Amino acid sequence: MSSYSSLSVLDAARVSILVADDFAEWRVQVRCFLEARQDWHIIFETSDGLQAVEKATELHPDVVLLDIGMPSLNGIEAATKIQQASSGSRIVFLTQNADSEVVNAALATGAQGYVLKLNAATELIPAITAALGEGNQPDRAKRLSSPSEPEHQGLGTV
């Protein structure tokens, strides 16, 4: 769990992102991948769903990336609480769970996107962009990625 509290004036113009996933190495990959964009900044990382809710409530990030399976509170429960406490935050699930019932339950929380980790290298940035309302990709964020697509460079799989 790490916090990046040394925010500068330039950070105010950047998209703030909170990453919640119980696999530390995956969080590092996601942070490096997303921060390659100069206008995006990871403001907090956690492995725990309950802490994701607490920090989203405190920090009000623009985007919250949530895994489904996390300790204390799963991603679906966390998303519901984050929507209540930090309604301006856009939620995108980033998970390996492709079960259609789980996808439907996740999107029913009001989340703006659902991306399979297997396809993160090609679909995560477009999903976040769509969730933020940038570009012309309204259906892209909610589309369930096909788990049979090949892996791409830039972001490994879990």
Give the span between the Cα atoms of 65 and 83, in whole angstroms: 13
The pLDDT of 12-38, averaged and rounded, is 92
Across the beta sheet with 90-95, what order do the strands follow?
Answer: 2-3, 40-46, 15-20, 63-66, 90-95, 113-116
| Segment among 11-20, 26-35, 42-51, 62-71 with least mean pLDDT | 11-20
Give the span between the Cα atoms of 72 and 35, in whole angstroms: 28
The pLDDT of 40-51, averaged and rounded, is 96
The string of pLDDT tens digits covering residues 83-111 is 999 889 999 999 999 999 999 999 999 99
Instruction: For each of the domains in the chain, give its residue range(s) and CATH number, in order of start.
Output: 2-131 (3.40.50.2300)
- Would you state the pLDDT for residue 12? 53
- Would you state the pLDDT for residue 156? 55
- Would you state the pLDDT for residue 14? 86
Q: Which of 68, 78, 59, 15 is nearest to 41 (CA)?
A: 15
- Residue 35, pLDDT above cutoff 60: yes
Give the span between the Cα atoms of 89 and 105, in whole angstroms: 18
Residues 75 and 106: beta-carbon distance below 8 Å: yes
- Would you state the pLDDT for residue 134? 66
The pLDDT of 66-77, averaged and rounded, is 96
For residue 53, what is the DSSP state? H
